[in-house]
Amino acid sequence: MKKLGYRHTMYAAFGGYIVQALLNNFIPLLFVRFHTEFGISFSELSLLVVLNFAVQVAVDALSPVIVGRLGHRRAVYLCNIAAMLGLCGLSIFPTLFGNAFAGILFSVVLYAVGSGIIEVIISDIIEAIPSDNKHAAMSLLHSFYCWGVCLVVLLSTLFFVTVGIAHWRLLCLLWAILPLCDLIYFTRVEMPPTKTGGNGGARIGSLFSQGVFWIFICMMIAAGACEQAIVQWVSAFAEVALGVPKTLGDLLGPLGFSVLMGLSRVIFAGRAEKMHLRRYMLFSAILCVGGYLLAALSPLALPSLVGCMLCGFAVGILWPGTYSLAAERLHGGTLMFACLALAGDVGCTGGPSVVGFITEAFAGNMRIGILFALVFPVGMTLMLLLLRRKKQ
């Protein structure tokens, strides 16, 4: 049977990023339910988030080997199958295992494997598709993660309101249809020729010996930390530090953050030919510094929330932009994307952790925690300036 063309390959890749948004953002919506139904402590629930990103970091590191042995097509099948099993497991394993927390933990490990592989290979596939403007394609791809977050939050909330949160197991099974559809779609599309570490791409020694590669690694850590330091805490920040009702705080916080982050990526994708990517990233990093300052220092709730949302717009280009600049300068293939994804996930883990530790150290003052996280957008600004000097 004749395969569908590269346009459909791109659409399937967009679907892959929506799947990743589902995997990273669905289970926190059930935390309170898990606490009340199973008696799982909040510290154990926090462990689920840490484990999710930790498994993704490990998979990022192993992805060159996985993709080298399986190829991109079968690796895409694997990540969608892992996502389906993890989501179905959420509804089955807590009862099947007898220990609800162990069942949920196992489900998280399963779908985190899928999420980790998605992070590496989908960007590699998009980069390999023939295109007149790869910067625009990469930015548009990453915007679908943002739209995926919005879709997950809105549809899950609608389900909880209409059907009831008591039927959350059914919702897990319904969400498992999404990776199934993406899996089927990928079986029908043409796969572009891609590079791996040992087959046309850079080898690890070649990458690690280049100073500019380490700049990109630092940029990815900063990009992940800039994003997650705000988005993981903005709901609690709105409710606890700003005194905003939870529903309003969630709409203006994580949902508003994701909408503006997606808009930033779409705007760049539409005007990429007229924009200088590194300069736009530098502008965004400086804007992110301003957003952090406004969120942490404003005495009023609304300007603080505006600062958080402004950060969403600012960080939008940092992650995909770093991917694009690295691909343009290094031509490293799957190995390079795996290293960058690993660094980004380290930032995703470290950013919110720093905010939490500093907040705890200052008697629960979350404003100080967010203010301390200013080090991440400042670091991104410095790395971009250093990258310009390196190019010169």
Q: What is the pLDDT of residues 237-266, one digit of tens each?
A: 777 777 877 667 667 777 888 889 989 888
Tell me: pLDDT of 380 over 80: yes
In 10 A of CB 5, how many CB atoms?
11
- The verdict on 202 and 189 lying in the same domain is no
Task: Quickly state the pLDDT bin for 220 (edges 50, 70, 90).
Answer: very high
**pLDDT, average across residues 150-178:** 90
Tell me: pLDDT of 80 over 80: yes
Task: Quickly state the pLDDT bin for 51 (edges 50, 70, 90).
Answer: confident
**What single-letter DSSP state applies at residue 3?**
P
Most confident listed range (232-236, 292-296, 316-320, 331-335) = 292-296
* Measured distance CA(230)–CA(6) in Å, rounded: 36
Q: Which amino acid is at 243?
A: G
Which of 113-122, 164-173, 325-334 is the least confident region? 325-334
Most confident listed range (9-13, 152-156, 161-165, 192-196) = 9-13
Q: What is the pTM of this model?
A: 0.76
Tell me: pLDDT of 371 over 80: yes
Instruction: Single out the residue in 133, 162, 194 at which a domain terminates.
Output: 194
> Which one has a higher pLDDT value, 98 or 32?
98
- The verdict on 272 and 353 lying in the same domain is yes
200 pairs with which residues across the strands? 196
Among 278, 281, 237, 277, which Cα is nearest to 257's?
237
Q: Which domain holds residue 306?
A: 197-392
Q: Which pLDDT score is estimated for 45?
A: 74
Most confident listed range (69-73, 180-184, 233-237, 251-255) = 180-184
* Measured distance CA(300)–CA(289) in Å, rounded: 18
> Which one has a higher pLDDT value, 60 or 296?
296
- The verdict on 212 and 171 lying in the same domain is no
Task: Say if CB 366 and CB 237 are below 8 A apart.
Answer: yes
Which of 114-118, 291-295, 334-338 is the least confident region? 334-338
Among 18, 380, 376, 367, which Cα is nearest to 182's?
18
- The verdict on 43 and 141 lying in the same domain is yes
Instruction: Single out the residue in 124, 159, 194 at which a domain terminates.
Output: 194
CATH (domain of 299): 1.20.1250.20
- The verdict on 217 and 324 lying in the same domain is yes
* Measured distance CA(348)–CA(221) in Å, rounded: 8
DSSP 189-221: B------BTTBBS--HHHHHT-HHHHHHHHHHH
Instruction: Single out the residue in 151, 168, 194 at which a domain terminates.
Output: 194
- The verdict on 166 and 63 lying in the same domain is yes
- The verdict on 276 and 236 lying in the same domain is yes
Which of 186-190, 203-207, 292-296, 377-381 is the least confident region? 203-207
**pLDDT, average across residues 97-104:** 90
Report the domain count for the chain. Answer: 2
